[in-house]
Amino acid sequence: MFVLTVDQRRSRSREDLVEDAVDVLNSDSARPLLRRFERTAGDEMQAVIADASVAGGIALDLATSNNWSVGIGIGTVDDPLPESTRAGSGQAFERAREAVTAAKTAPGNIAVSGARTEAGHAEAVLQLLVSVARKRSKEAREAGELSDQGLTQQQIAERLGITQQAVSSRLHSGLWHEWRRGQTVALALLEGADR
């Protein structure tokens, strides 16, 4: 089981982002949550997730935005799991708390805590992925997001009004293909850490 505890970065110097993030995350039907995101304290939110790919995907998106410190706790939860995320308890909740604290000073502001060695390996790959994503240019992000939607390089070029070679260059400089492969590895490691 995965618990995500997420803390807004620099919350004292800018507007509260928690309510909007909770609304968006809880309405994403492509990413099923076992227990919905809820504000837990001040500028934090938390959710319970059964699927490694959902937990890892959400964690990557949040950390890449540079607005959040993201802790992923892996382990058991106490049964029965209450309807409210805030009322939950167990290893995964405790580890998520440890992880979000570590994430505040970790590369990419993302950390993983679990009993198996795969948790540490997943953390290293996730931190690398977030660091790469944060360094992408606006143009590389734009081309990569269209590629992630399934568009070919030629279709991306037509949409952006640039050459196919320029699209290829943007994807190359943004390390999009390598990033996707790394994401596959990170999600497999998260799944292995939950066995």
- 12, 46, 124, 164 from 168: Cα distances, Å: 40, 38, 28, 6
Q: Report how far residue 15's alpha carbon sits from residue 75's, in angstroms, rounded to the nearest whole number.
A: 33
pLDDT in tens, 91-133: 999 999 999 999 999 999 999 999 999 999 999 999 999 999 9
Please, which pLDDT band fits residue 10 given cuts at 50, 70 and 90?
A: confident
| Residue whose entry in the numeric block shows the structure tokens 């320029």 | 166
Please tell me the predicted confidence (pLDDT) of residue 14.
Answer: 82
Q: What is the mean pLDDT of the chain?
A: 96
Please, which pLDDT band fits residue 13 given cuts at 50, 70 and 90?
A: confident
Please tell me the predicted confidence (pLDDT) of residue 131.
Answer: 97
Please tell me the predicted confidence (pLDDT) of residue 121.
Answer: 98
Please tell me the predicted confidence (pLDDT) of residue 66.
Answer: 95
What pTM was estimated for this model as a whole?
Answer: 0.94
> Which H or E run includes 159?
helix 153-160
pLDDT in tens, 124-178: 999 999 999 999 999 999 999 999 999 999 999 999 999 999 999 999 999 999 9
Average pLDDT over residues 3-11: 93
Which residue spans within 19-118 are E strands per DSSP? 35-41, 44-49, 68-74, 110-113
* Residue 20 neighbours by CB under 8 Å, 6+ apart: none
pLDDT in tens, 15-32: 999 999 999 999 999 999
CB 95 within 8 A of CB 83: no
Q: Report how far residue 125's alpha carbon sits from residue 169's, in angstroms, rounded to the nearest whole number.
A: 24
Q: Is residue 12 pLDDT above 80, yes or no? A: no
